[in-house]
Structure 1
């Protein structure tokens, strides 16, 4: 929200009161920080302390490298939930140190410090590395912390009745020269958020607007720090847009807390952010294989499903997971978890037969947390209080999406139990994983949750967290802690604990493919390890060339799914079953087989991502190359783990421009070596794209011709050396995720080869 009209004027209808000086500094109640009493005018005489507002700013050491800043106007305001689940793995010990000199008061939390100016009648707070006070990461300067009223009261007496006023708290951290800002969830617009207004409010808006399914209140700066805003309510950011040199964060309410997280590298920032909100959950090896969907509004039954899977098998395109989208349910009855008996008279038998025939290993079904009133279940759910209500006691309903749709109230424990029982019935049918769609359009006005203590505005974004957590934990209970997999669309901070997510409803265009890529990059910089996209685009009918280019992109994402809206995504329906080597079937086969060969590398990298809070794919280039300024601008390419650079092709003629950071990079397909730091333009057939191996890499691959997703990742593998110097490593893991050994270059030789089983080949590609 903009509170000013340019630099000099206040916006019409707004009253702003700024923290003008630090009047007093005292210890916080926890003993781990300092509390600043900040009047909204300079206090020159005793009389100046009367008839004015003050802001309390509590600065506390959270843990090494992390400091929290909480600004409060009226302390008596209720602290209504829900709140983010912080420190899910436990809070680290913190050694808070406070020191005072003539220059000011400094709070240190390990490697990060905050220094409050000691000048009389001054307001300035600098955040800097503890060992270098002159290297400011960001600051809060004059007129950077305040409160605002809309409409502007004409007299303080009007504030006695707050019902007609909105009250905001805001802070403005400085943006340095050349600083860029990234993250804030899955955002499809420009990769660098400077110059943008961003509202963190989950919405079902597709991939081609400023709305987002996954709003995450965390952003990363190119200056070596990140900021996590600790509230699930609507947060409005003006990122160099109200003031070009500041990031303004505002919320409606009496309090605003955020954490400043020091790196200095993006890896360090993400690791510390994961301590706050949780590490990504593990995913099983089979989930990396190809997922095939029925698509959305298409007509399908058991015969159609069988034809799809038989067709894929005949074309040597392995399918790991088959997904039944919406119309496994009876029309108007979504989502009551009952197979449409007319189309699927024997779902348990059908699923059993599919698996027994070997055409697919796992089955997924589409669900959502809404319930149409045409379902026989609706009346029961409404009567038992399982559905969200209006303030007058009515069930909240509307006709958006499903006629008379109600929303499951997950603040009601009985509703949660019922929902889990519905999941368990699906598991009994043979369903292995769940697509948790929707969860974004959660009303925040005229609603009453079962838990009366929650704030409806905070519930809007937080709903995605509790919805996905509930289903994920139900899967864990049935199949094991590391076998649970979601395919979720909505998310907020912390939802990375319940993998995985996909990018939502994109069009079948190259522009939409690029939008999706930007969304995946931004989500990866928000702490999410695993991500997928609707290969070919969701909306429309992709022409063959877009389908094939998207296949190459999609099979190099961490997870890969063919899915559409009103048209099928099996390859032979896209190009009239072109059987040539340039056809859709051949292209899909090649890339599916390549991903199978990459599994020893991918699964090992996935476990590192889970351990460190990193994205596997899409991984922004700046994570691996933070000292290269160009890396912070790259939004058409990504890293797949530590060692593989991927640049999707967006042009019909196959041309693509990409950037290689410093070093000697090797073309995965041809072995050609190119030197960075440099831009290149190449032209590619449908069987290739710029896939370059980073120097100093030992790359472990499945054997030539490998088509399986799950196999022995230490037997009959190929180890490739790409300019692998002293200390280059590759961690060997088995298909269960257990470490089997480590290959490492020592004294010019690869050690650890005893962990490899028979039939392995070691090949020096580049030296």
Structure 2
């Protein structure tokens, strides 16, 4: 037996027993044999380039460049988005893409100019220059500055393709998906090949679960984006091989990329998501706290878990059912011994305010008595090798076949299985192991890349098949199944594997991390990287999936997780319990405090989600998005912004009771104390175990709700507007939080402007737009940072009948107003605490 097989056998016997280990060895041997039979030969020789340009032809909104050895199409999608394709013939039919969502763009205005050595295409936003001898391409600002220039440019060798561009020294490099690294990708060579790195993946693990070939180049006065639209196995080399060059490579397929002209980082993200689609607003309950564990294995366990959360007054909205609930790990089943009456259990959990989410794996056990396998075989839904035999690989239930999610027929078949779960009472779906990931006890094991895929009728193979889009299309099928069953509800799907555009279908998480401080640090940078790649609704398994966190690590991770988009604790079978009460009373109380803070901030988080859904901006953002001109912010990934107004400085080192952080320009309030701090400098923040430093930008309005144990626990009678005195603008979004009424205009945007007037008064202007009317009619306004008892409070010119002043905070209850004025001085640290007494 080969040494590699012995290692696999040993690992498998340790982890899952002899039978699973033998299946893993058999699978690896089968793949080796198939590789010998079907794998492509290794390309040899030099890469070819197009050569000298012979002719240039304008076709409507495209320029067709005929060079010595290739044709290049430069197609204007919009004034800011340009698509470039290279082929060896001139047949540029409209391309098929799983990444691209929108194809109906109004024709842009363009000006083509042939000046001899080059041809330029100019729009109102960007200039694209085709150099003729030899063919090379550059993108320039309208005033002639080079933004993105070819090095070697486009090239090919046999079935391989490549595009190489210059990488200026001053360029910062962001995006490329959920990378387990810093946010600056410069100096890295990353794989584009979805793979399971297994629990405990190291920093810079590569490949990893997602492949999102979207890059943002940030230069001091210009940002731009590139989408390499090829899902084949590939690489992006960001100055790793040559410090001054960047290359996109793929083993096969068409050379096609999109250029996004920016010029700001925010504009690039808006342009990218306008092309690839944006996150659809999730149900409000999905923004609450989620609890999961591999090992919750019976009806009684879930009933006890729900009882503990409610008795301990720990807010929670979602409970997850990992593979333990299944009958022999078969998707679309449940164990009727341990979960005797699943619909009754889920109904009882729903009455207590818990939504239930079920895990689904794509592997369908090859069991002739298994209904899902029976229908899948009858309807011919499973992936095949080139010889027509079905792909078989071991997963949790044993040997499995895998649906071909690149087929519309197969996606519809998968969606038809969803009622098995929704009719039982499951509210959401958790797509796992969908790189796809056979169990072979080796990092990165997946299906061979010569597996044949339908490709929605195109019959593609030998381009990595549908590998990199597999997880995304499984999420699409799961979402479509939920939509069909519950057309009046918002679907909730979470996927481990993803490709560019997956944000249209699902949220994601950072995979099987480990209970270490290194993984705590990685979890933040991975969430930031995902957000800069269009996947904004994401978060880590708090506390680590594998391993046992000590109380300090757990609560520091919990504090961070409470401010991330996806807020979930999850852990592996065999580890210590990870529930908030498992670490003692002190940790439980700190966790309760941050749970309650999250639930108070739900309307603020929901506004950030709405901004993401409408504009494509991340929910949590690196500080460079706050002030791109500040060089100190460009590499920071240990602090972040939630939305536009809240800055979070998590504690990422053991034993730390304080930390240094660089505050961006402007004036900031410490959330806990109300103390004012000037930015553009490094400050030291106190951070005892119970405190994570949080800062609010002066001049912003933070909407808040009363604490609830779950979303919708009780009617909200009064909503809070906490105003931090200063000059600034805030946008706030409202809708019902569930259902699709918002798509029919049932929503409301509020626009706040805060400022100090020459008279010394502090003014709040409130403009509203939209049809939605919230169920509550009263607001409580709390203005932080008013240094003296106001002489009066004016609401639309009329004196307020009553207000309170205490410790620098003015408070009053109101109906919606157009302008409020506080006749007093603000913008100074409160210097005294006054008794809470009404002023009439």
Question: How does the TM-score come out when normalised to structure 1?
Answer: 0.86
Q: 1:25 to 1:32 in 2, by over 3 A?
A: farther
2:729, 2:751 within 8 Å by CA — same for their partners in 1?
Answer: no
1:282-334 deviations in Å (ceiling 9; x for gaps): 111111111111x11x2521111111111111111021111111110023x43
1:542, 1:574 within 8 Å by CA — same for their partners in 2?
Answer: no
What residue number does 1:271 align with? 270
1:721, 1:764 within 8 Å by CA — same for their partners in 2?
Answer: yes
1:739-762 deviations in Å (ceiling 9; x for gaps): 164333375421339998325133
What residue number does 2:780 align with? 760
Quote the offset at 1:469 in angstroms. Answer: 0.8
Is 1:104 aligned with 2:118? yes
What residue number does 1:91 align with? 105
What residue number does 1:50 align with? none
Match of 2:399 among 396, 401, 404: 404
1:86-131 deviations in Å (ceiling 9; x for gaps): 243732432232123356321123301112346xx454432112x2
Quote the offset at 1:409 in angstroms. Answer: 2.1
1:104, 1:117 within 8 Å by CA — same for their partners in 2?
Answer: yes
Aligned counterparts, 1:351-366, within 5 A: 351-356=346-351, 358=352, 360-366=353-359
Quote the offset at 1:414 in angstroms. Answer: 4.5
Q: 1:413 to 1:237 in 2, by over 3 A?
A: closer
Quote the offset at 1:483 in angstroms. Answer: 1.4
Counterparts of 2:700 and 2:626, CA distance in 1: 14
Counterparts of 1:682 and 1:244, CA distance in 2: 37
Q: 1:12 to 1:665 in 2, by over 3 A?
A: same
Q: 1:372 to 1:426 in 2, by over 3 A?
A: same
1:442-476 deviations in Å (ceiling 9; x for gaps): 52445333557123524011112221111112222
SS in 1 for 2:601: helix
Counterparts of 2:714 and 2:134, CA distance in 1: 65
What residue number does 2:592 align with? 589
Q: 1:75 to 1:637 in 2, by over 3 A?
A: same
SS in 2 for 1:70: strand
Counterparts of 1:569 and 1:616, CA distance in 2: 30
2:723, 2:781 within 8 Å by CA — same for their partners in 1?
Answer: no
1:213-252 deviations in Å (ceiling 9; x for gaps): 1111101111210101122222322111222111111223
2:112, 2:119 within 8 Å by CA — same for their partners in 1?
Answer: yes
Q: 1:304 to 1:401 in 2, by over 3 A?
A: closer
Quote the offset at 1:671 in angstroms. Answer: 1.6
What residue number does 2:452 align with? 448
Superposed structure 1 runs of 4+ greater than 6 Å apart: 78-82, 711-714, 753-756
Quote the offset at 1:82 in angstroms. Answer: 6.2
Is 1:126 aligned with 2:132? no
What residue number does 2:370 align with? 376
Is 1:663 aligned with 2:666? yes
1:388, 1:409 within 8 Å by CA — same for their partners in 2?
Answer: yes
Counterparts of 1:707 and 1:260, CA distance in 2: 46
1:711, 1:735 within 8 Å by CA — same for their partners in 2?
Answer: no
What residue number does 1:49 align with? none
Q: Which stretch shifts more, 382-391 or 467-476?
A: 382-391
Is 1:739 aligned with 2:748? yes
Q: Which stretch shifts more, 255-264 or 478-487?
A: 478-487
What residue number does 2:23 align with? none
Counterparts of 1:481 and 1:86, CA distance in 2: 26
1:367, 1:435 within 8 Å by CA — same for their partners in 2?
Answer: yes
Is 1:313 aligned with 2:310? yes
What residue number does 1:51 align with? none
Counterparts of 1:515 and 1:552, CA distance in 2: 15
Quote the offset at 1:674 in angstroms. Answer: 2.4
Aligned counterparts, 1:166-245, within 5 A: 166-206=158-198, 207-208=201-202, 209-223=205-219, 224-245=223-244
Question: How does the TM-score come out when normalised to structure 2?
Answer: 0.79
1:439, 1:490 within 8 Å by CA — same for their partners in 2?
Answer: yes
Aligned counterparts, 1:157-556, within 5 A: 166-206=158-198, 207-208=201-202, 209-223=205-219, 224-253=223-252, 255-293=254-292, 295-296=293-294, 298=295, 300-331=297-328, 333-335=329-331, 337-356=332-351, 358=352, 360-374=353-367, 376-377=370-371, 378-441=373-436, 443-449=447-453, 453-455=459-461, 457-480=464-487, 483-556=490-563
1:55-88 deviations in Å (ceiling 9; x for gaps): 3222221211111222223568x99996225243
Q: 1:526 to 1:246 in 2, by over 3 A?
A: same
Counterparts of 2:224 and 2:641, CA distance in 1: 21
C-alpha RMSD over aligned residues: 2.7
What residue number does 1:68 align with? 83
Counterparts of 2:748 and 2:156, CA distance in 1: 53
Q: 1:394 to 1:18 in 2, by over 3 A?
A: closer
SS in 1 for 2:751: strand
Q: 1:144 to 1:221 in 2, by over 3 A?
A: same
Counterparts of 1:482 and 1:104, CA distance in 2: 54
Q: 1:98 to 1:255 in 2, by over 3 A?
A: same
Q: 1:63 to 1:652 in 2, by over 3 A?
A: same
What count of residue pairs does the alignment treat as equivalent? Answer: 704
2:523, 2:539 within 8 Å by CA — same for their partners in 1?
Answer: no
1:664, 1:695 within 8 Å by CA — same for their partners in 2?
Answer: yes
What residue number does 2:570 align with? 563
Counterparts of 1:702 and 1:417, CA distance in 2: 40
Q: 1:731 to 1:383 in 2, by over 3 A?
A: closer
Quote the offset at 1:533 in angstroms. Answer: 1.6
Counterparts of 2:397 and 2:89, CA distance in 1: 42
Counterparts of 2:458 and 2:490, CA distance in 1: 35
Quote the offset at 1:496 in angstroms. Answer: 0.5
Q: 1:258 to 1:203 in 2, by over 3 A?
A: same
Q: Which stretch shifts more, 445-454 or 494-503?
A: 445-454
Is 1:613 aligned with 2:616? yes
Counterparts of 1:61 and 1:729, CA distance in 2: 35
Counterparts of 2:257 and 2:163, CA distance in 1: 10
Aligned counterparts, 1:596-675, within 5 A: 596-617=599-620, 619-654=621-656, 655-675=658-678
Counterparts of 1:432 and 1:679, CA distance in 2: 45
1:700-748 deviations in Å (ceiling 9; x for gaps): 2224x555544899852332232432x6234252443621643333754
Counterparts of 1:728 and 1:284, CA distance in 2: 27
Match of 2:72 among 57, 81, 90: 57
What residue number does 2:33 align with? none
1:321-355 deviations in Å (ceiling 9; x for gaps): 11111110023x432x1110111010001111222
Counterparts of 2:126 and 2:542, CA distance in 1: 43
Quote the offset at 1:570 in angstroms. Answer: 4.6
Which structure 2 residue ranges, 5 or more long, are not aligned? 1-41, 437-445, 786-825, 828-840
Counterparts of 1:62 and 1:428, CA distance in 2: 43
Q: 1:763 to 1:474 in 2, by over 3 A?
A: same
Q: 1:254 to 1:391 in 2, by over 3 A?
A: closer
Is 1:574 aligned with 2:582? yes
2:194, 2:468 within 8 Å by CA — same for their partners in 1?
Answer: yes
Q: Which stretch shifts more, 509-518 or 379-388?
A: 379-388
1:663, 1:675 within 8 Å by CA — same for their partners in 2?
Answer: yes
Q: 1:102 to 1:276 in 2, by over 3 A?
A: same
Counterparts of 2:749 and 2:272, CA distance in 1: 29
1:173-214 deviations in Å (ceiling 9; x for gaps): 111122111111111123211111111111111443122211
Counterparts of 1:476 and 1:211, CA distance in 2: 32
